Amino acid sequence: MPSAILNGSAITDWTSFHEQCKRALGFPEFYADTMDAWVDCLSYLRDEDGMTQFLLKPDETLEIVVRDAEAMRLQVPDILEEVTFCIAGINERYEDYGEKPALKLVLR
């Protein structure tokens, strides 16, 4: 299963969150450092449009692994909550199109 690893202890604000995501997920250079852009990029994981470094097969799921998730939970609980909410919404979008959910959040 493909995975992208974020360092939870290095995420201390929105800027560091988006920096981690750009590196781990391979977002395009024009990525706007917003949650709207984050959702948009992760909504095309099975399309060949280059919004991430990942191209999932129909039955694949991308794991977004947050290492040291407890540090993130303590430092920026609002960001962790927003990420969880957005992943659920993205997966719902995939299901609305008759596809398998594409994302799984793993907290370590």
Q: Is the pTM of this model over 0.75?
A: yes
The first and second tokens of residue 63, run together, are 């794991």
- Give the mean model confidence (pLDDT) for residues 2-14: 98
Rounded to an integer, the average pLDDT of 63-91 is 98
Give residue 44's pLDDT: 93
pLDDT of residue 47: 94
Q: Pairing mode, if any, of strands 3-7 and 62-67? A: parallel
What's residue 46's pLDDT? 96
**Quick one: which of 6, 71, 1, 76 has its CA closest to 38?**
6
Helix (H, G, I), strand (E, B) or coil at 104: strand
What integer pLDDT is reported at residue 85 of this predicted model?
98
The residues that bridge with 66 in the sheet, in sequence order, are 6, 107
- Domain coordinates in residue numbering, the chain: 35-108
Burial class (CB in 10 A: 0-12, 13-18, 19+), 74: exposed
The mean pLDDT value for 24-45 works out to 97
Angle of CA points 108, 53, 103, to nearest 5° = 45
Other beta carbons within 10 Å of 25: 20
Task: Give, as one character, the DSSP assignment of residue 98.
Answer: T
Q: 39 in helix, strand or coil?
A: helix
Give 5's strand partners. 65
Average pLDDT over residues 9-15: 98
